[in-house]
Homo-oligomer: A and B are copies of this chain.
Amino acid sequence: MRIDGRQNHQLRPVEISLNVQRYPEGSLLFRAGGTQILIAVSVEDGVRDFLRGSGLGWVTAEYAMHPRANKERQARDSRRGKIDGRVQEIQRLIGRALRAAVVPKQLGERTIVVDCDVLDADGGTRTACVTGGFIAMALALDPLCKDGTVGTGVLREAIAAISVGLVNDEVLLDLCYREDSSAEVDLNVVGTCTQGIVEVQGTSEDAPIPRAQFNALLDVALLGIPQLIDVQMATLKDANVNLTRLLAS
């Protein structure tokens, strides 16, 4: 049995509080076990230079750690005057994943900025940002879709993300921090409810892993993702979001 009593292929409980801030077009607090992230989605007119005049929209993400998201206080990036390499890598993954969930033509020349502020870090923060970020984007786009600002089907399909790892040769889904620290392999997967793959990013921390084990890890991740998409859909329905209008498929 796992540190926190879960089965190997069991997700941590997810809790989502909507509209926790006044101003963002979409805002929520996403909790998965001990991980807690504040997500705020802004929809702004205009796009970067390379897309101007194309009629296409863009999605970008910013990821920041609260100084006390961890046991020891860490200096803010703003005080150190530069952005940490790990932060850069993570926010690029989140941006790519959420960009893949949007139909750029239906968005039009608008930029969606997804601000992810990690309040508590207990493993799986980047995947939580993707899963929660999709919900916050849907919240932000629903009224814009309703009033015709953005086109129907602006969201291609629901996506979610989860981590999976190998700990003592067992495949564990949704690693908490302590499990992650001792994992031989750590795989982050972004996917859809029909096992479509949006992004895979995995690293063996020790010995290279055989192909069969890699497949087993990917299998477990792709079984976890639809469960998270169920949570997304239930949350959005409770919030009276018109999913038929919003989703392309």
Which one of B20, B88, B122 lies within 8 Å of A119 (CB-CB)?
B20
Complex Cα spacing A203 to B188, Å:
12
CB proximity of A93 to chain B, nearest CB, Å: 8
From A204, which residue of chain B is reached at the shortest CB distance?
B198
How many chain-A residues does the 8 Å CB contact rule pick out? 69
Q: Mark A79-121, 1 if CB is under 8 A from B, else 0.
A: 1011101101101100010001000000000000101010110
A78 within 8 A of B: yes
Q: Which residues from B are CB-within-8-Å of A23?
A: 68-71, 120
B residues less than 8 Å from A192 (CB atoms):
208
Interface string of A186-224 (1 = CB under 8 A from B): 010001100111111111111111110011001000100
**Out of B64, B89, B199, B200, which one reaches A76, CB within 8 Å?**
B64
Q: How many copies does the complex hold?
A: 6
A143 within 8 A of B: no
Which residues of chain B have C-beta atoms less than 8 A from A40's C-beta?
66-68
Residues of B with C-beta under 8 A to A38 = 66, 119
User: Contacts A62-B76, A88-B89 hold; do A202 and B204 have CB atoms under 8 A apart?
Assistant: no
CB interface residues, A 145-196, toward B, < 8 Å: 156-157, 159, 187, 191-192, 195-196
Q: Is A77 an interface residue, CB under 8 A from the partner?
A: yes
Interface residues in chain A, defined as those with a beta carbon under 8 Å from any beta carbon in chain B: 20-24, 27, 34, 36, 38, 40, 42, 44, 62, 64, 66-71, 73, 76-79, 81-83, 85-86, 88-89, 91-92, 96, 100, 113, 115, 117, 119-120, 122, 156-157, 159, 187, 191-192, 195-211, 214-215, 218, 222
A-B contact pairs, 12 of them (CB 8 A): A23-B71, A62-B76, A81-B81, A82-B83, A85-B89, A100-B204, A187-B200, A196-B208, A197-B211, A198-B203, A200-B214, A201-B202
The 10 closest A-B pairs by CB, nearest first: A196-B208, A77-B78, A78-B78, A88-B88, A85-B88, A24-B68, A42-B73, A89-B89, A22-B120, A40-B68
